[in-house]
Amino acid sequence: MHLVLIEDDEKIGAFVSQGLREEGHVVSWARRGDEGLNLARQPGVELAIVDLMLPERDGISIIRALRESKNKVPIIVLSARAAVDDRVHGLEAGADDYLTKPFSFAELLARVGALMRRAAPASESPLHLEVADLTLDVVSRRVRRGERDIDLQTKEFILLEYLMRNRGRVLSKTMILQHVWDYHFDPQTNVVDVLVSRLRSKIDRDFPKKLIHTLRGIGYVLRTE
């Protein structure tokens, strides 16, 4: 997957491009607006990550230029300005998503993934999920680990499905809050920790092989190690 990153801050740029490369993407990184616009216009580019404040040409103008030339490459905006106005301007100019700095890499990755899936709508959304000996059936709402049926409450089920669909991918607390409760701000509560620990007690406690892992400070991931 070929991504273009337009970001003038060396540290942030290095952090994002390295992270994306580790995920198996090809990243072209531009530090200036004009250079970035040229890179994004190249054929084969599948997604652009654009900072708003850039030398030479700002992010909004890059997005406008791309959209005016009928370039439909998905765009994620990065900005240090959290004001609603900026978000609206970015999306109005033609961006597909918006992330406020500082952001967690897990969240950026999740949004990149979401946009990729949207770009390739053929991707399957299976109704039956399986990770190791854990199975989840979306339609019948049945969860089994090994030979045992596991009874989950609604929120626990939503969280497990979310984790299983994103197996191997780290989910931040913010992402879980948004997905499970549709909450878009930090309520300063440990509700995610509580839900995860409940789920863990039902899925992992009685089994030697643990599936749900905590990455302190980053989030949670479901994987077989």
Partner 1 sequence: MSSAPSSSRRAGSAKRAWRSLSARLALWYVLVIVGSFFVAAFVFALRLETSVQREGNRSAEGALERYRQALESGGTDALRAMFDCSPAPASRFALRLTDERDVELFGVSSDEDSRRVAVTSGERAPHAAPFPAWHVAKTQVSQQRTLSIAMHDDGADHLFRELRETSWLIFGAGLGLAILGATFITRRTLRPVTALAEATERIVRSGDLGLRVETRASTDELAHLSALFNRMLAKNESLVKAMRESLDNVAHDLRTPLTRLRAGAELALRGAPDTAHERDALAEVIEESDLVLGMLTTLTDIVEAEAGAMRLDKHREDLGAIAREAVDLYDLVSKEGGVGIVTHIAANAEIFADRRRITQVCANLIDNAVKYTPAGGRVEVCVLESGTSAIFRVTDTGIGIAPEDRAHVWDRLFRADRSRGARGLGLGLSLVKAVVEAHGGEVTLSSELGTGSTFEVRLPRAP
Residue 70 or 216 with smaller CB distance to partner 1: 216
Span 183-202, contacts to partner 1 by CB under 8 A: 183-191, 194-195, 198
Residue 83 or 127 with smaller CB distance to partner 1: 83
Buried b / exposed e over 141-151, threshold 16 CB at 10 Å, is eebebeeeebe
At 134, give phi and psi (nearest 5°).
-100, 130
Contact indicator for 57, 37 with CB cutoff of 8 Å: yes
Q: How far is the CB of 195 from partner 1 (least distance, A)?
A: 6
Which of the ranges 69-77, 90-98, 110-118, 178-186 carries the binding residues for partner 1, by CB under 8 A? 178-186
Buried b / exposed e over 184-217, threshold 16 CB at 10 Å, is eeeeeeebbeebbeebbebbbeeeeeebbeeeee
What are the helix (H) ranges across the chain? 10-22, 33-41, 59-68, 84-93, 105-119, 154-165, 173-176, 191-203
Contact flag: residue 49 with partner 1 (CB under 8 A) = no
Q: How far is the CB of 39 from partner 1 (least distance, A)?
A: 30
Q: How far is the CB of 138 from partner 1 (least distance, A)?
A: 22
Span 76-105, contacts to partner 1 by CB under 8 A: 82, 84-85, 102
Q: How far is the CB of 83 from partner 1 (least distance, A)?
A: 8
Contact indicator for 171, 159 with CB cutoff of 8 Å: no
Element (H, E) at 51: strand 47-51
- Taking CB under 8 A as the criterion, the residue among 56, 210, 218, 223 binding partner 1 is 218
Binding residues with partner 1: total (CB under 8 A): 22
**β-pairing, 75-79 with 26-30?**
unpaired
Contact positions vs partner 1 (CB under 8 A): 82, 84-85, 102, 155, 181, 183-191, 194-195, 198, 215-218
